[in-house]
Structure 1
């Protein structure tokens, strides 16, 4: 086993709390609002005056919702309300025919061949991230911030062929940094029975940052559309998506539709990757023997790694998988049942909120051996592989699986390898991070690691 130390997790809330207290906890930190019993339960029901919610942890229930009958369990409009200022009607929040048309245009951009083509841009961003650490040698580094910078750079290089230093890219990154700490994972207003025309209680700072981000993305999108018309556009992800027509209707994304999609690419491809990479560096730093093994693997890469070389990073791939198990960037997914359904003997009426929680399932005491232990070697054992088949879905599953899952599984091991070739990370013992859900699972007060040059 690679490590015997439990990964830090929020202190579970014990006992019963009032509805108002629970909603306040839910808004402040969805993770700390969960009692310990939910890490053992197959299903739990929550009742409010406005709706009922069911947390479904059993693998059969997860398969029912995500794989067997996904059309009967669309994305919840209540969750869309919380993210609407930034995401509009992006592929992350839509349902039905609208979502299907969006996926028919987006999916070809993330096929294996395209990943090979954008790999040099991803590698250049990883090397730039390592170079940005040089002035901080021998110091404590806030790695959440560093990995946010790195992940944003990867998105801009692969999507628009511009580095993070580009003026517009830097402005989007700065606006997003303002946005991410003002927007809770769930917006409280989405859970109140308000008429559609009433405001949803988004903070003023959240709305302002979202407007700034969308205005900047609109500028990038309009510039790219002009370049496509002029025949001078680079062959990157943005060009691929904007020139792909829906094979059924022949329609392409309009500028406004593309802005929605770029917003979710930036959210999903930057925010989630930054979360996973920061937690991976913390877990590597907390296990020095494993760090040495991973660094030796990284040192075996060619000076200029190619796409096919990433397949040889087996230790780092397992580290990244295990990080996604313990700290899934999107800790909960919410669906809404459209028709009556029986869930483990309970009759559930249409309109209930069906919560699927990687955070709970990945740490479930009945589904994983030593669920709170960071153990990358579990992925090479039969018990770990069995648990993964039944109880692992950091990218969702079924038809709505994240189209960028393959992208992320190249990006994660690559960035870690490039960093470990040059740097050694160590935990500041008095500064143990506590996970909390903002847009993704982050540390309550950042993740600070000591940075040393690897000899």
Structure 2
């Protein structure tokens, strides 16, 4: 039994046809050879793009010389209405300054400090699912995991539940924004300066404006609470009170809005994607689900929930790691060469686009044993250990690794364990989800499962 994978594009297509396929779904627009190639070239009249899968080249770009391969704005241009100048899109000195302020909020004991809020959101998710799932009810689980992940973000960032009026409005507007904004903007193929019009739809601009307005209200409210010395000790307070150690500056309101927008996108959308695919794989492999449920029962029984219980879930962690291998929420990342390069005896000019694809790298036929199979036990094998070091990048790698990677792993493991402990998940005949990629890897028609309380 093999987990679902989109059919690859067959044969060559014109640039216009490729643009149309890309807008519909990044994954099925790619040819099957990308699952075996170490490097592949794509040409347009305006630039050349190079997909790299060779571990040595991936390491060169992400770890050895990351500042010489900054993020490309060809993808970022499509996200700017919502994300502004957030840390996800910036480069150079601006990015370094932003990370100096943001990183302390996610270091060391801070993750431990966020655990109570994460646990509250997990219990709320289980309660909502319990109300919706009768004896064998069939539910679309992406909607459930999206709700749960948004709740985690609001509780840990602003100490408010998803039921808070502002939080609920942000959540609703974000779902609308996803429907109006493909990851590929025309700017991804046409050259031009940053000020060039990007032809966003009215819906994209409207929802981005409304989301940023709601975040502004939350930020202003928190700034007033900080000034009055009555702000909760959560992630928002930590970030808003952390000064750049080099300049002594704080984030101003606009900068904080940018960062909250990417925290919500990265922490909500990506987590919702991974957890939904995790629940589907639990249904597809009931023996794995049973083992996760048993491990959770032993870990949670008789314990006051605290951060230490995550160490009692090693198998669930391997399961979630395998979910991220097969269905990495962010399927592709794009960097740009700042100078002339030579990769695999090919000359790359300055401005060349370097595509790193977790989707293809994680399923590469020349790197992984059983690349398309679901095998949590692989992480204990020599092949799995080696590939975790050189061919596994669900959170990127190197200096630009996702600052919330540890947070995401803790959240995913906790939610997967708790939901499998509380509920049994089964596949529904005729409802096989087809992975597609827009902002993240989701299912074309949702993920439908039969859910029964244990």
TM-score category of the 2 structures, normalised to the smaller one: over 0.9
Q: 1:367 deviation in Å?
A: 0.7
TM-score normalised by L of structure 1: 0.98
Alignment-derived partner of residue 275 in structure 2: 277
Q: What is the TM-score when the length of structure 2 is the normalising length?
A: 0.98
SS in 2 for 1:82: coil
> What is the SS of the residue equivalent to 1:8?
coil
Equivalent residues in 2 for 1:53-452 (5 A)?
53-135=49-131, 136-137=133-134, 138-303=136-301, 304-452=304-452
Aligned partners of 1:250, 1:103: CA distance in 2, in Å? 14
Give the SS at the match of 1:431.
coil
3-state SS of 1:247 partner: coil
Contact 1:142 1:448 in 2 (8 A): yes
Asked whether the 8 Å contact 1:278–1:447 carries over to 2, the reply is: yes
Question: RMSD value over aligned CA atoms?
Answer: 0.9
- Give CA deviations for 1:178-220 in whole Å, capped at 9, x if unaligned: 1112222222333212454432122221111111110000000
Aligned partners of 2:292 and 2:421 also within 8 Å: no
Tell me the CA shift for residue 7 of structure 1. 1.4
Match of 2:187, SS?
helix
Structure 1 range deviating more: 358-367 or 180-189: 180-189
SS at 2:144 equivalent:
helix
Matches of 1:258 and 1:152, distance apart in 2:
18
User: Quick one: structure 1 residues 397 and 196, their matched pair in 2 at CA, closer, same or farther if it must change by over 3 Å?
Assistant: closer
Kept in 2, the 8 Å contact 1:358–1:392? The answer is yes
The DSSP-based 3-state class of the residue aligned with 1:192 is: coil
Assess if the C-alpha contact under 8 Å between 1:181 and 1:438 holds in 2: no
Q: Which moved more, 1:298-307 or 1:38-47?
A: 298-307
Q: Following TM superposition, by how much is the alpha carbon of 1:155 offset from its aligned partner in structure 2, in angstroms?
A: 0.2
- Distance (Å, rounded) in 1 between the aligned partners of 2:76 and 2:122: 32
Equivalent pair of 2:59/2:390 in contact (CA under 8 Å): no
Q: 2:342 is paired with a residue of what secondary structure? A: strand
Secondary structure of 1:133 counterpart: helix
Q: Structure 1 stretches of 5 or more lacking a match?
A: none
How many residues are treated as equivalent by the alignment? 450
- Which runs of 5 or more structure 2 residues have no equivalent in the other structure? none
Distance 2:94 2:191 in 1: 25
State the distance in 1 between where 2:429 and 2:247 align. 58
